[in-house]
């Protein structure tokens, strides 16, 4: 079973964000081992060191300059990664972004939009898309 790890900077302050993430984490448990690591905000350099310590397997950094993908593209990418690695790490940086050292380490830069989203919301959006990717792979009716 694949291990999906989410490394993010900052905490979920409001209960509704925590509840939404918990719901998708529960759903993901049917498809993968899931782990979320929330790191404290600090300087980009300090965040870089903490993030890089947590990276395992294929690494995907969410970046505004990253590659846009459809839900189907993400499903295909996760399926392809599962053929070469049992681990995939997604990274969401702080409100200041990601240090260049993190961006150099990643295997894929992924952009969800040219819009800027609150980090708490992005965490929920990412988890939903990872869940959707697994349902697409299994031809489930969740993805329409």
Separation between Cα atoms, residue 28 and residue 11, nearest integer Å: 20
- pLDDT at position 107 is 96
CA–CA separation, 87 vs 56, rounded Å? 6
Q: What is the pLDDT of residues 18-74, one digit of tens each?
A: 999 999 999 999 999 999 999 999 999 999 999 999 999 999 999 989 999 999 999
Rounded-to-integer distance, Cα 82 and Cα 120, Å:
27
Q: Can you give the pLDDT at residue 88? A: 98
Write the DSSP string, 10-21. S---SHHHHHHH
Residue 54 to residue 39: CA distance in whole angstroms: 10
pLDDT at 144 over 80: no
Q: What is the C-alpha separation between 53 and 89, in angstroms, rounded?
A: 11
| Confidence category of residue 93, pLDDT binned at 50, 70, 90 | very high
- Condensed to tens digits (0 to 9), the pLDDT of residues 106-140 reads 999 999 998 888 889 999 999 999 999 999 999 99
Rounded to an integer, what distance in angstroms lies between the CA atom of residue 21 and that of residue 123?
7
Exposure on the CB side of residue 73, measured as CA atoms within 13 A: 8
Give the right CATH number for 3-137 from 3.40.1280.10, 3.10.129.10, 3.40.50.40, 3.40.190.10.
3.40.1280.10
């Amino acid at each position: 079973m694949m291990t999906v790890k989410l490394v993010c900077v900052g905490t979920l302050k409001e209960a509704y964000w925590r509840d939404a993430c918990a719901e998708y984490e529960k759903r993901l448990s049917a498809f993968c081992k899931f782990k979320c690591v929330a790191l404290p905000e600090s300087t980009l350099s300090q965040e870089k060191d903490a993030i890089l310590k947590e990276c395992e397997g294929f690494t995907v950094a969410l970046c505004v300059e990253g590659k846009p993908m459809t839900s189907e593209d993400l499903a295909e990418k996760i399926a392809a990664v599962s053929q070469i690695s049992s681990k995939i790490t997604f990274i969401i940086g702080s409100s200041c972004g990601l240090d260049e050292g993190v961006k150099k380490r990643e295997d894929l830069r992924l952009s969800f939009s040219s819009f800027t989203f609150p980090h708490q919301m992005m965490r929920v959006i990412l988890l939903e898309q990872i869940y959707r990717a697994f349902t697409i792979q299994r031809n489930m009716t969740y993805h329409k």
